[in-house]
Structure 1
Amino acid sequence: MATVHPALAPYVRSLVAYDVAFDGSGIHIGMPSTELTWVLPLDEPLAVSWDAAPETRTSGWTSVSGLHTRAAAVHHGVRQRGIQLALTPAGARALWGVPAAALAGQLAELPDVDPGFGDLPTQLGERTTWRARLDLLEGALLQALRRHERPGPRPEVARAMALLTRGTPVADTAAEVGYSRRRLSTLVRDELGVAPKVYQRLARFGGAHARMRHAALTGGVSVAAVAAASGYADQAHLAREWAELAGCSPTEWVRREFPNVQATDRRAERG
């Protein structure tokens, strides 16, 4: 994971340069979250579709997805190299000049969203080191920040998003920021493209996904433990959410994404 310039920190949650080898061609699951995803492949165009909807497949040198409630299928060959960024909703306005709502549920190429980035893939391909590529990308992002100079979400909406992310009930969030529940719902939809409860659902699922991924990278996974730490009523609740949002069970996700890791549930732990 690369260090993000301080001026970009409110807008870029993570920036990862990746070089991954696989046993063969396959599909990586792009998980729903409260972040917008931006991928810049280096060796070949990136093919992405919504899971179980191959007719939505797109292929390009820059892939952008807004907030979504179904998994994306990222098609890969034996090797993938590129740069992936996770943007905050405020980052969509600051770096692309559009609210996150404009991209909700969408798979797109960035030049269609902001033509100012049209030459970036070619320029990245011409660089021969990761340092040179990351420096180029940072410069392009800082230039975009100056180019757009658009205000972010109104402060009360940003405050509401923070409260929802922490699990504050929608009614309490509306009261905290001084809006009716209906007014809050309208403002959040206008900014994000999803209702407050959906955004809160994505936030909780994103936390579970991060915990599951961390557990898979550091040792065996207990689905029950992840469910408890992420605020789900029980393991079955998390399993239902995982199936709806990721398109498979938690244990299947671990098997597909981390084939050498053993995921357990209560039944397995009982023997």
Structure 2
Amino acid sequence: MAAVPAPLAPYVTSVVAYDVRSGAPGTHRGLPSGSLTLVLPVGDPLDVGWSGAPQSRARHWSTLAGLSSRAAQIHHGGTQVGVQLALSPAGARALLGVPAAALAGEIVELPDVVPALAHLPEQLAETPAARRAGVVLRALARVGRSELRPRADVGLALAQLTRGVPVGAVAEEVGLSRRHLTTLVRAECGLAPKELQRVSRLEASRDALRAGRRLADVAAVCGYADQAHLTRDWTALAGCTPTTWLREEFPFVQDLGGGVGAESGP
């Protein structure tokens, strides 16, 4: 994972130059998250669509996916190379010039939103792997307009909601009714507060699972009622259980101290 320059830190939550060679064709599951996802593949276009929506599947040389409570499916031929960035809802305004809500539930090509970045796929193809992430970050910084920010109260609400603060407490903190908060949050990111919290919690649990935490511990630290609740939410949002996802992503994982193979209930 590459370092994000300080001026872009509020807008780019992660950037990864990836080179994955599995040797066999397959499908990768892109989990819902509280960030927009920008992927710039190198070598082959990205073959992607929303899970359960085959009509959304297409091949792109740049892919920008908005916030969604459904998983994406990425089809590959055994080699995946490129750069992937996660953009915060504030980053949608500051770097792309549109509210995140304008892209919610959509998978589009980057030039459709920012024509000035249409050159990036070709430029990356001619750039050494070690420099690709920097090329993308500098290009975003050049077109970005940091003054395009969400309302201060909405920005604070989004930050608090993604941390798991109860909706009522967030509404009180920013001085809005729950109904007004819901309207403003949906207008900014495309998801209602509860839905945003749900995908953000899934994202946090994904990171904890990657770190090797036990399923029961992940449920406790990420705000699920119990392990069964964790499993139900994963099945509903990701389309699979946490154990299935771990085996897909890390096929040589045997056990997480009572984690893998120890899920509770349907």
**TM-score of Structure 1 vs Structure 2, range by shorter chain:** over 0.9
Q: Given residue 203 of structure 1, which amino acid in structure 2 is its aligned partner?
A: S
**Structure 1 residues 267 and 111: CA distance shift in structure 2, 3 A:** closer
1:258 to 246, 250, 253: 250
Match of 1:140 in 2: 139
Paired residue type of 2:167:
V
1:232 match: 224
User: Which segment drifts farther, 135-144 or 113-122?
Assistant: 135-144
What are the Cα deviations for residues 188-247 of structure 1, in whole angstroms up to 9, with x where unaligned? Answer: 0110001111111112111111101221xxxxx522221112111111100000001110
- With normalisation by structure 2, the TM-score equals 0.93
Task: Say whether the 8 Å CA contact 2:15–2:133 is kept in structure 1.
Answer: no
Unpaired runs of 5+ residues, structure 2, are: none
Q: Does 1:104 align with 2:101?
A: no
Aligned residue for 2:57?
57
Contact 2:243–2:261 (8 Å) recurs in 1: no
**Aligned counterparts, 1:106-255, within 5 A:** 106-127=106-127, 129-145=128-144, 148-215=145-212, 222-255=214-247
Q: Please report how far the alpha carbon of residue 134 of structure 1 lies from its aligned counterpart in structure 2 after TM superposition.
A: 3.1
| Residues 224 and 266 in structure 1, CA contact (< 8 A), matched pair in contact too | no
Percent identity over paired residues: 52
CA distance in 1, matches of 2:225, 2:260: 15
* Aligned mates of 1:120, 1:163 — CA distance in 2: 34
Query: SS of the counterpart of 2:81?
Result: strand
Distance 2:31 2:126 in 1: 30
Q: Could you say if the C-alpha distance between residues 252 and 149 of structure 1 is closer, same or farther in structure 2, counting changes exceeding 3 Å?
A: closer
Contact 1:97 1:150 in 2 (8 A): no
Q: In the alignment, what sits opposite 2:91?
A: 91
Q: Distance in 2 between matches of 1:167 and 1:159?
A: 13
> CA 1:268–1:156 in 2, change beyond 3 Å: closer, same or farther?
closer
CA apart distance, 1:164: 1.2
Q: 1:122 to 1:226 in 2, by over 3 A?
A: same
Q: What is the SS of the residue equivalent to 2:216?
A: helix
Aligned to 1:17: 17
Aligned length in residues: 262
Secondary structure of 1:20's match? Answer: strand
Distance 1:204 1:160 in 2: 16
Q: 1:185 to 1:122 in 2, by over 3 A?
A: same
Match of 2:43, SS state, is coil
Distance in structure 2 (CA, Å) of the matches to 1:63 and 1:101: 17
RMSD: 1.8
Spell out structure 1 runs of 4+ moving beyond 3 A: 263-269
Q: Secondary structure at the match of 1:15?
A: strand
Q: Which moved more, 1:222-231 or 1:249-258?
A: 222-231
- State the secondary structure of the residue aligned to 1:142: helix
Secondary structure of 2:7 counterpart? helix
